[in-house]
Structure 1
């Protein structure tokens, strides 16, 4: 599979997209203001690492998300990752929604957390996916009337799927940002082998601001705190099981056994092997 991108636009904005890509490394999906999206997976499997969640998506599961930073990651399934990933996205924007529905969001106070949500693909959603695939295969069919009809259909399907009181309530909640809990972002991604730059991106902060905020919340530097938590978890695993030391190092978020051994010895005064034997 080679990288391929097909898009359909409405009023200058991408509303439908299909991406085909071979095996990939962790990739940041940057925050875009006033954008919400839904992602189907046609082929393969992909991990989504959001600030407070981690989801695995395949053909039977999809993702609904509002505007925030998150990472696409390969999963630990070698078969599904090997065949590459093909995904279909549906994008919504407040300006287009107002054009479609003439809704005034301020008239409802319905709230629910749509920062990132996994959605089961039932028969209705599967049929909708196939209809978007057809449009992407035959873009000449996608005139403005067809696009408006398909976007309205999507909103109706999501309103029913998410059991929102009305389409207005669903859309209002979808475009209301939920403030991230800094501590939860860190705890959720502590053992994910993320760089400080990547953690800062998930927290929607610059690296200097992230370091200052981290020091305020945890009273330690990010590097010192994260390494301590990783080796503490590794020590618990060494005490309670017979898992290989290299596997433990990977599980707690190290991609180098030498780095793990050095950090562990600095914290406990002995190597992981000696710690287990003692």
Structure 2
């Protein structure tokens, strides 16, 4: 149940919200054409990442693309008081306030292929101080004007660009200007030969690890680890025949950062070590 809802609009669109909710509650975002930053001032809330519910506790924050991610937050704890501060990022407003050129954080990263739409932001001291400043203006609405709201929006963008979550934030914000949904196989193929973990691949798909493995099995009828390893070894075998590169370089190019591991895996698959494989094939 919503006990109190204060908000400030910028250029006719909601920018800042301060919500007080009593548990249990379910809150649906009224707008979905933007990204939003949620800061849990008091209490806790749950949000969905794929099919799993995650908790966001007090003094922690969440950044999400409201176009693509789940549009709902909730809390199941009885009789808790929950306070949430929300900042909306509308693409048309961002274009207007950065009329000459968008900052780097908002620009599309062409080499990045990801469906990531949600990210928990590390508990950052500067962001906490920024939030304290916003609370002052909710207590003193007569001081709020258009120039101040533009300044506070630019300030949070600057702060987000300085967090350890900058890569995820940039992916999510850039989706507002260059929306693209990559299919499952496109993302897998784009990262086949990189030194990437299953956990990182799951994040690129905005899935939990367990859900990612289930989805992978549907597409490839195999486990991610086995499929990716097989593809890397097949590429290595091909490079051994067509390239004069050293075996250590080929191993690195195919996503192996340990030569001993590469040699062992290659020998298990082809029954000969890489050096002998190259010699045998060349002799033929």
Q: Please confirm whether the aligned pair reaches a TM-score higher than 0.5, indicating the same fold.
A: yes
SS state of the match for residue 85, structure 1? Answer: strand
What's 2:35 paired with? Answer: 36
TM-score (norm 1): 0.56
Give distance in 2, aligned partners of 1:12 and 1:124.
29
CA gap 1:15/1:156 in 2 versus in 1, 3 angstroms? same
Give distance in 1, aligned partners of 2:59 and 2:108.
35
What's 1:237 paired with? Answer: none
Give distance in 2, aligned partners of 1:178 and 1:53.
24
Residue 60, structure 1, aligned to residue 62, structure 2:
no
Give distance in 2, aligned partners of 1:54 and 1:181.
24
Matches within 5 A, 1:128-277: 128-162=130-164, 164=166, 171-173=173-175, 175-177=177-179, 179=181
Task: Give a deviation string over 1:68-113, Cα, whole Å, max 9, x none.
Answer: 33331225xx4xx532211000111111111122235677536465
Q: List alignment gaps of at least 5 residues for structure 1.
A: 192-216, 219-278
- How far the C-alpha of 1:2 sits from its partner, in A, is 6.2
Give distance in 2, aligned partners of 1:47 and 1:136.
25
Give distance in 1, aligned partners of 2:107 and 2:125.
33
Give distance in 2, aligned partners of 1:65 and 1:169.
10
CA gap 1:108/1:139 in 2 versus in 1, 3 angstroms? same
- How far the C-alpha of 1:171 sits from its partner, in A, is 4.2
TM-score (norm 2): 0.54
CA gap 1:114/1:168 in 2 versus in 1, 3 angstroms? closer
CA gap 1:178/1:133 in 2 versus in 1, 3 angstroms? farther
Residue 99, structure 1, aligned to residue 96, structure 2:
yes
Q: List alignment gaps of at least 5 residues for structure 2.
A: 185-201, 212-217, 220-284
SS state of the match for residue 86, structure 1? Answer: strand
What's 1:83 paired with? Answer: 80
Cα root mean square deviation, aligned: 3.9
Task: Give a deviation string over 1:223-243, Cα, whole Å, max 9, x none.
Answer: xxxxxxxxxxxxxxxxxxxxx
Give distance in 1, aligned partners of 2:10 and 2:31.
20
The structure that has the greater radius of gyration is 2
